[in-house]
Amino acid sequence: MFVKKLLLPALISLLAACTTTTTPKHPLIDASVKGDIRQFGGATRLKNEHAPAVKHVILFIGDGTSDSEITIARNYVEGASGYFKGIDALPHTGSYTTYSINKDRTIDYVTDSAASASAWATGIKTYNGAIGVDLQQKPRESILALAKKAGYATGDVTTTEIQDATPAALVAHVSHRKCYSPSSTAKLCPNEALENNGLGSISEQLLDARPDVTLGGGYASFEETARAGKYKGQTLLAQAQDKGYQVVTDRQGLDSITQANQNKPLLGLFAQGNLPVRWTGPQAVQGGSEMAAQRCQNNPEMTASTPSLKTMTEKAISLLEQNKKGFFLQVESGSIDKQNHLANPCGQIGETVAFDEAIQAGLAFAKTHPDTLIIVTGDHAHASQIIPTDSPSPGKTARLLTQDNSPMVVNYATSTGSSQEHTGSQVRTAAYGPGAEQVSGLLDQTDMFFIMKNALKIK
């Protein structure tokens, strides 16, 4: 007994020493924020942004897409034991924080798409509604602008209007996200209007930013006329053509393009507003969980003349890779969010499937071009949740029949109004390629800016 009393403290000390000296320390992850979250880079969480140099970076954004939206779509399409060949195939995963900052410098725990896109596009937190500007409404240079300046080809692809928040944050600087055109800019953010010596509407700034490839919807804004400057009285479409843009409006026109660069950039406008969604189905309603389970249907508005997100992604890659230095490309499936707002589960599931197909196209390229970094994430969490099939809900519900031939009830309960609201949860991140291990653990949206910037060795 006496010997045991003598040996026990020594044994405990020895075990403690072994534990201390052998516990591995991750060289990258330090999930505490490094500085003043209101300053450039202050909200980042990654300990050391030191990605190996790559030639190409592709950033895939599912708007309004968190684990809940992915799980709903996976259950419906692949079954509970299945997986998506794009979204679920990336080897490094984690999550990031998405909060924004109010103009009074307090925290807003539920971001909108504008503030979130501005965070990864420019590396700084800002207020909801801001596009490419900080809290003082000062323009911040985007990763696309920096990549272009460094000699890379650049692309911006979406299923929404190309003036919408996620694509706009790469090419514009406005104080209000809805300043799409000259008329809306004059009304909503007059300080940015050309007639007031501002930078102009998002559409006008896009033409000046001049990505090599821009694909999406938003044709209606280009039908408006400029109110000042060299092109005063002319439509923005005429302005684009005068500036050398190749303008296409359907799948056939897109297929005909063989080159896109700074001499002749490509502008694809495939809808007046947002592109049509792939699927339609039962709208979530009060008491919808008690209805018979239904399947989704093809949307007749999605015709062969409208390119899919996969098609646009493949075309953008094929054009951008002609640049010998490499490229930066952002691809967004934007209507996952919009259908979530509408409490339309089939709409959001179909757009998640389209997102997965586009990611698969990116991965196919990366597997033959190992100097490619692919990052997949969402911009914020949203309303849709899977709830028990026999549980009454105060929200809106829809009952779907999944691939497992089992009913799944999707619930929306973040608003009593016509539009469901975002939620403030952290969002999944995933990556493939050189430096992909950085996209793991807990990050912040602003970390993405620095990961991509350093991967492309941009100063």
Phi first, then psi: what are they for 204, rounded to 5°?
-70, -40
Q: What is the pLDDT of residue 322?
A: 98
Domains of the chain by start residue, with CATH: 46-382+391-444 (3.40.720.10)
**Cα separations in angstroms, 26 against 23, 48, 440:** 10, 11, 11
Q: Is the pLDDT of residue 426 over 90?
A: yes
Lowest mean pLDDT among 4-8, 26-30, 44-48: 4-8
Phi first, then psi: what are they for 442, rounded to 5°?
-100, 120
Mean pLDDT across 430-438: 96
Confidence of residue 10 (pLDDT cuts 50, 70, 90): very low
Active site annotation includes 113:
yes
Confidence of residue 23 (pLDDT cuts 50, 70, 90): very low
On whether the CB atoms of residues 406 and 296 are closer than 8 A, the answer is no
Q: What is the pLDDT of residue 113?
A: 98
Q: Is the pLDDT of residue 388 over 50?
A: yes
Judged on CB neighbours under 10 Å (0-12, 13-18, 19+), 29 is middle
CA distance 252 to 155: 20
**Cα separations in angstroms, 355 against 61, 277, 301:** 8, 12, 19
Tell me the per-residue pLDDT of 155-171, one tens digit each, with 9 for 90 and over. 999 999 999 999 999 99
| Active-site pick, 113, 175, 184, 333 | 113
Confidence of residue 4 (pLDDT cuts 50, 70, 90): very low
Each residue of 86-104: b (16+ CB within 10 Å) or e? bbbebebbbbbbbbbbeee
Q: Is the pLDDT of residue 75 over 50?
A: yes
Sheet of 327-333, strand order: 246-248, 266-269, 213-217, 153-161, 327-333, 56-62, 372-378, 427-432, 92-97, 441-444
Q: What is the DSSP letter of 86?
A: T
Q: What is the pLDDT of residue 122?
A: 98
Mean pLDDT across 73-92: 97
Q: What is the pLDDT of residue 50?
A: 67
Q: What is the pLDDT of residue 28?
A: 62
Lowest mean pLDDT among 3-12, 30-39, 254-263, 322-331: 3-12
CA distance 452 to 57: 7
Q: Is the pLDDT of residue 263 over 70?
A: yes
Tokens at residue 300, please? Answer: 């007749």
Mean pLDDT of the chain: 93
Confidence of residue 30 (pLDDT cuts 50, 70, 90): confident
CA distance 149 to 405: 52
AA identity, residue 339: Q
CA distance 160 to 332: 8
Confidence of residue 1 (pLDDT cuts 50, 70, 90): very low
Q: Is the pLDDT of residue 378 over 70?
A: yes
Mean pLDDT across 11-35: 53
Looking at the DSSP bridge assignments, the partners of residue 280 are 297
Mean pLDDT across 278-288: 94
Mean pLDDT across 106-119: 98
Mean pLDDT across 297-319: 97
Tokens at residue 118, please? Answer: 């501005």
